[in-house]
Amino acid sequence: MVNLETHRVLYDDIALAIAIIPALFIWVTIITAPISIYLSLRHWKSPTSIIPRTKIRFIIAIMLSVVQIAAWFFVFAYIYTGNLF
């Protein structure tokens, strides 16, 4: 079948950018980390680029976002309990 698509959105790049760029501003990650995970899972099977590409960007985005969420969890745990564990 001939593929005649002329435009594709790169959701993996978007998810990765949402996981990395807000990390520079730290506070924003509380909102962007879950968004990045949502985008990665929502568009896991969406077509990305026509040219050869792996899902490594989605995987890195999810990993970074999980780390950010875990960091926030520890921050809130420290604020409310006074110790981390």
Partner 1 sequence: MVFCVCIYLYGEFILNEAFTYKPLPGKERGKKSFFAVLRTKASLFAGPDHLLSVFNSSYSEDYRRFYFKDIQAIIISRTSEQAKWNAIYGGICLALLLAAYMTGEYWAAAFIAFAAIFLVKLALNWLRGPTCVCRIYTAASRTELPSLARLKNAIKTLDIIKPLIERSQGRLSGEEIKAKMGHVTEETS
Smallest distance, partner 1 to C-beta of residue 78, A:
26
CB-wise, 54 or 81, nearer to partner 1? 54
Interacting residues toward partner 1 by CB under 8 A: 4-10, 13-14, 17, 49-56, 59
Q: Which of 60, 68, 23 is nearest to 40 (CA)?
A: 60
Smallest distance, partner 1 to C-beta of residue 29, A:
19
DSSP string, 63-83: HHHHHHHHHHHHHHHHHHHSS
Q: Which of 32, 41, 45, 34 is nearest to 59 (CA)?
A: 41
Smallest distance, partner 1 to C-beta of residue 39, A:
11
